[in-house]
Structure 1
Amino acid sequence: MSSLLHITNGDSFTTKLKSLKLKGDIITWREMLCEGKTLTNVGSESFWKTRFEFLNKNYKISKSRFIELTLKEYRSLCNHKKQDKIVLWFEYDLFCQINMLAVISWLMAHRPYAEISLVCSGNEDETDRLYGLSELTDAQLLHLYENRTVLTQDDVEFADYVWQLYCSDSPIRLEQLKSYGHYQFSYLADAMATHLKRFPTIKNGLNDIENHVLQLAINEKPTSKREFLGIILKNQGLYGYGDTQYERTIARLRPLFSSLSPVRLTRKGKEILEGKSNYYSSLRDNEAYLGGSLKYNYLYNTASDRILKL
C-alpha cells in the first residue's frame, strides 16, 4: 500500500488543496529562494544559516519567526519518511520554479526511492494568460492532478543539475538551458531566462525589474504607492514576486522618485530610464546575491540576451 505526500508552493494554495480532500499529507514549502544567496546542499545547517541571514537582514525576519514558519515545516518534511509517492504543486513563474528545483534536489538526496510527480500550472486555456494554482477551479485542479507528470530519474537529475548551476558563482552556463530541451519542465527555460534579466543591464545599470518599475511609473501615473504596487504586481510577467519584494525594489530606487503620492520620477530617473545616464555605481552592493552569483559582478546585454562577467 503506497502512501502519499503533497508539497505545495505556499500557504494560500495549501488551504485550497485541503478543501479538495485528496488523500495524503500536505507540507508547505515556505521559502523565497529566488532572492538572496543559496547553497546547493538544501536543508543543511549552512543552507538554513545562509537563508536566515538574508531574510533577517533584508526582511527583518526574526529567528523565532523563521523557526516557526520555515524550519518547523521543513522538519515536518524530514519526518515524512514513509511516503513513496510525492506530488509537487508549483507554478510557472520564477519564484515557484526556483523553489521547485530546490525541493527536487532535496528529494533526490533524501528520498531516492520515492516516485515524484509534478502538478504545474500555467497555460490552462487558449489565451496567452498564465494561471497560478489558486486561480484555478476545483475541477481544473483535479484535472491537473489526475494528469500530473511523473518525473523520470533523468528529469530529477536534470532539475538537480539546474539547481547546481543556479547556486554556482557564475550564471553564464544557464544561458545554454534552452539547448538542453525542457525535459518535463515546461516553464523552466523561460524562468531561467527571466532570472538572467535580474542582473544589471549595460544600458543603465538597472536590471529588467527596476527598468520595468520606472517605466510603469511613467506610463500608469499612479496616484499613490499602494496603487503603484498593485499595478506592478499585475504587470510583472514571469517573476511571481510578492508585494514585500517590490517594496524593496521601490526603496532601492527611491532617490529616482520625486514623489510616491502621486508617483513621479525625478529628471535623473527619466534620464536613467532613457539610457542617458547610468545608475550602476549607486546601486552596486557587494553582498547582493542572485542564487550563488554576486549580482553586480555581471552585466546583462539586452541587445544580445547574454551575460557578461565584469
Structure 2
Amino acid sequence: MFQWIEEARRGSAEAQESLVRHFTGMALAVAYDKLQDQHLAEDAVQEAFTEVFANLHKLQDPRRFPGWFKVIVERQCYRDLRRKQFQTLPLHEVELAAGDQRSLESVVEKREMIGQLHATIADLPPGMRIAVQLYYFQGYSLREISQYLDISLPALKKRLFDARLKLKNTLHVADFVSVFTDLYEGGRRMLHIVNGDSVGDKLKQGNIQGDILVWRELYSFGPVFTKMDVPDHRRTRAQYLEQTLGIPQKEYIGTCEAQERKLQDFQQYDEIVLWFEHDLFDQTMLSYLLHWFKEQSLGNTKLSLLCIGAYPGIELFRGLGQLSTEQLETLSGTWHTIGEQELMLGSMLWEAYTSDLPEKHQRMLEVDSSALPFARAAFAAHLARLPSVNNGLGIIEQTTLEAVAGGIHKPHELFRKVGDQLHTLGMGDLEFWYYLAKLTEGPDSLLVIDGTALFPDFKLAVPHFQDRVLQVTSLGREVLAGKSDYAPYTGTTDKWVGGLLVRGKAPSWRWNPERKSIVRMGESD
C-alpha cells in the first residue's frame, strides 16, 4: 500500500487505480452509513477520491493514509447532507437469478431474514455498525479495518464481539455468522479444527456451521519429530506415551491415522478454521498444522485462525474449554485469514521445536513472531522446562516443590495450583502426574507421598488418590534453597523437551532463567 501511495504522488495512474480498488469498499461502507443512499454514497466516494489525489502531496506519513482518507469521505458526506435531500433506500435487495428453481416461499423467507438482518445492523451504534459492515459485508481484514477506523486491534475485536452479542439478542438466532454465511455465501463448506473434545462437543451442540475435527495430540510431551507421520517416528512416540502416560500404542496410532485421513481431504472444504489458544499445548499443535498446510497446495481452500489468550469476564483464562457453548458461539467469525507470514513462521517454529539442536530452540525466542503473537511466550515456557543452571530443576519441578513447601499437600489441589501458575504450558493432569511421580521416586526423591506409590495414568485409576499427602524431603529443601543440584540425583532418567533429549545425571544443556537462554554446561553463566 505504501508503494502505491508514493507512486500515486508522482502521478501514476496505475497506483491510483490500485488505491481506488483497495479502499472503495471501506469508503462505501462509511458513506452509506452517513447518507443511507447507495447512489449518493457512490458519488460521495468518487468525489472523495478526487480530493484525495489532489491533496496527496500534503500527506506526510503514508501510514496515516487510511484514517486520513476516512476523514475526507466523512467530510464529503456532510457536504452532501447539507445540500441534498434524499429518500432512504434499503441497504440490500435480493435479486432472483434467472432460472432460479427455489420456491417463492423460500425466497420470501430469505428476503425477510435479510431485511431483519439489515434492520438490526442499522440499529447498532455507529462504531459497531461500520465495523460489522467492513468485516462481514466488505471482507476487509481486522488489521485493515483498524487502520482505516484509526482504532487498535483489541478495540476493534471488542466492537465486533459486542456487536455480535447485540445481534444475537435481537435476531433471536444462536449465531449471527451462520445466518450471514447461509444468506450471502450459500452455506460454504467449513471444517473447524479444535484443540480438544470439550471444545468440539460444545461447538457441535451450538450452531457453528461446518464439520468439527478434534485434533488429539500432546506435542508438548514426549519425543516429537518434524515428520510425525513417518512410521518409525510414530512407533517411537507411541511406545514412549504408553510407557509414561499409559496411552495404549494401538489406540494412539489409530487416532493419529484417522485424524490425518480427515486432514488429507481438506480440499473438499471452502474454509478451514483453526481454533487454538495461547499455551504451549496449543501453540505446538498450531505450529504443526501450519507446517503441514505450508507443504500442501491449498487450491481454493481458505485457511483461517482463531487464537485467543483472554475472554471478557474471565480473570484467569486457561483455554477455550472454559467457555460455554454460547460463549464459543460469540467467537464465530472473529477469526482472520492465515497468510504466507503465518504459514512460514508456524513451519519454522515446528522445525525448531522438533530439532535436536538447542540453538534452533533458542532461535524461536529471537525471531520476529508477531504474526503468531502467543508463540514467543509459549516456547519460552517450553525451554524453561530444561534443568535450571541454578539447581537442576525445570520450571515444572521447581513450581511443584515450591507449592508443596508452601503448604499444598493434596495432589489435586497441587495440580490446580501449579496449573494456574504455569498456565502458559497448558499442562494436563496425566502429564503432571508423570512429573509428580518422578519427584517421589528413588532414595534421593525430592518429595514423599503417603500410601501407595501408584499414580494415575490413562488406563489406571488409583482409589482415593486425591487424599494422598505430599511432603518435601530434606534433599528437596536443599535443592529449593540452591544448596544442592538435582541433576546428580536423577539417576538414568531421561526426558524429552520438544526434540531435545535431556539425559540423566549430567545434562549437556541447561536453562538460564535470568538470561532467558540455553547454556552449555561449562560455559560461563
Same fold (TM over 0.5): yes
Q: Distance in 1 between the 2:494 and 2:435 partners?
A: 16
Once the two structures are TM-superposed, the CA of residue 239 in structure 1 deviates from its matched residue by 1.0
Hey, what does 1:302 align to over in structure 2? 513
Q: Provide, for residues 121-161 of structure 1, a one-character-per-residue CA deviation record: whole Å limited to 9, x for no partner.
A: 21223876334112224454233321112111121111101
Give the conservation status (yes or no) of the 8 Å contact 1:259–1:265.
Answer: no
Q: What's the CA shift for 1:289?
A: 2.1
Residue 473 of structure 2 is aligned to residue 259 of structure 1: no
Candidates 295, 302, 315, aligned match of 1:115: 302
CA distance in 2, matches of 1:144, 1:136: 10
Partner of 2:317: 130
Q: How many angstroms apart in 1 are the aligned matches of 2:343 and 2:499?
A: 21
Whether the 8 Å contact between 2:354 and 2:500 is mirrored in structure 1 is yes
In 2: Cα distance, 1:171 partner to 1:124 partner: 34
Q: Which residue of 1 aligns with 2:333?
A: 146
2:423 is equivalent to residue 237 of structure 1:
yes
1:61 aligns with 2:272: no
Please give the root-mean-square deviation of Cα atoms over the aligned residues, in Å: 2.3
Post-superposition Cα deviations, 1:66-86, rounded to whole Å, max 9, x if no partner, equal 244333233232244412411
**What fraction of aligned residue pairs are identical, expressed as a percent?**
27
Q: 1:290 to 1:106 in 2, by over 3 A?
A: same
User: Which moved further from structure 2: 20-29 or 192-201?
Assistant: 20-29
CA distance in 1, matches of 2:196, 2:297: 21
How far residue 298 of structure 1 moved from its aligned partner, in angstroms, is 1.3
Report 1 or 2 for greater relative contact order, CA contacts < 8 Å, sequence distance ≥ 6: 1
**How far apart in 1 are the matches of 2:267 and 2:488?**
49
Give 1:28 deviation, angstroms. 1.1
Paired letter, 2:323: L
1:42-64, Cα deviation, whole Å (9 max, x unpaired)? 33334422321221221222233
In 1, Cα distance between the equivalents of 2:276 and 2:364? 20
CA contact under 8 A between 1:39 and 1:167: conserved in structure 2?
Answer: yes
- SS of the counterpart of 1:289? strand
Residue 248 of structure 1 corresponds to which residue in structure 2? Answer: 434
Partner Cα separation in structure 1 for residue 433 and residue 318 of structure 2: 23
In the TM superposition, residue 284 of structure 1 has moved relative to its aligned partner by 5.9
Per-residue CA deviation, residues 248-306 of structure 1 (Å, 9 max, x unaligned), is 11111102123344321111110011110011122265753222212233101122121
1:202 aligns with one of 389, 404, 413: 389
Take 2:419 and 2:432, find their aligned partners in 1: how far apart are those partners?
8
Is residue 278 from structure 1 mapped to residue 482 from structure 2 by the alignment? no
Match of 1:5 in 2: 191
Give the drift of 1:116: 1.4
8 Å contact kept, 1:165–1:173? yes
Segment of structure 1 superposing worse, 45-54 or 163-172: 45-54
Alpha-carbon spacing, 1:161–1:256, altered in 2? closer, same or farther (3 Å):
same
Residues 18 and 126 of structure 1, relative CA distance in 2, 3 Å threshold = closer
Tell me the TM-score normalized by structure 1.
Answer: 0.90
SS of residue matched to 2:295: helix
C-alpha distance in structure 2 between counterparts of 1:183 and 1:229, whole Å: 31
Do the aligned residues in 2 keep the contact of 1:155 with 1:183 (CA within 8 Å)?
A: no
5 Å matches for 1:32-51?
Answer: 32-51=218-237
Structure 1 278/178 Cα, relative in aligned 2: closer, same or farther at 3 Å?
Answer: closer
Instruction: Tell me the equivalent position of 1:269.
Output: 476
Alignment equivalent of 1:213, drawn from 400, 404, 426: 400
Contact kept? 2:401, 2:480, Cα under 8 Å: yes
Amino acid at match of 1:118: L
Q: Could you tell me how far apart the structure 2 residues matched to 1:109 and 1:128 are? A: 38
Q: CA, structure 1 residues 46+102, in 2 after alignment: closer, same or farther (shift >3 Å)?
A: farther
CA contact (8 A) 1:124 1:131 kept: no
Q: How far, CA to CA, are the matches of 1:308 and 1:275 in structure 2? A: 18
- Which of 199, 205, 208 is the equivalent residue of 1:19? 205
Q: 1:237 to 1:270 in 2, by over 3 A?
A: same
- 1:101–1:163 contact (8 Å) kept in structure 2: yes
Cα deviation, residue 192, structure 1: 0.8
Distance 2:248 2:478 in 1: 39
Give 1:98 deviation, angstroms: 0.6
| 1:156 is aligned to 2:367 | no
Whether contact under 8 Å (1:169, 1:294) holds in the other structure is yes
Give the AA of the match of 2:401. Answer: L
Return the alpha-carbon distance in structure 1 between the equivalents of residues 421 and 380 of structure 2: 18
Correspondences of 1:64-103 after superposition (within 5 Å)? 64-103=250-289
Moved more, 101-110 or 25-34: 101-110
CA distance in 2, matches of 1:179, 1:235: 25
Equivalent-residue separation in structure 2 for 1:128 and 1:174 (angstroms): 31
CA distance in 2 between partners of 1:273 and 1:266 (Å): 10
Q: CA deviation at 1:89?
A: 0.9
Q: Which amino acid aligns with 2:386?
A: F
**Cα deviation code 1:78-114 (max 9, x no counterpart):** 2444124110111111111111111111122235333
CA distance in 1, matches of 2:418, 2:266: 38
Give the conservation status (yes or no) of the 8 Å contact 2:207–2:329: no
| Greater displacement, 116-125 / 91-100 | 116-125
CA separation of 1:284 and 1:30: change in aligned 2, threshold 3 A? farther
Residues in 1 aligned to 2:194 and 2:408: alpha-carbon distance in whole angstroms: 37
Task: Point out where structure 1 has 5 or more consecutive residues left out of the alignment.
Answer: none
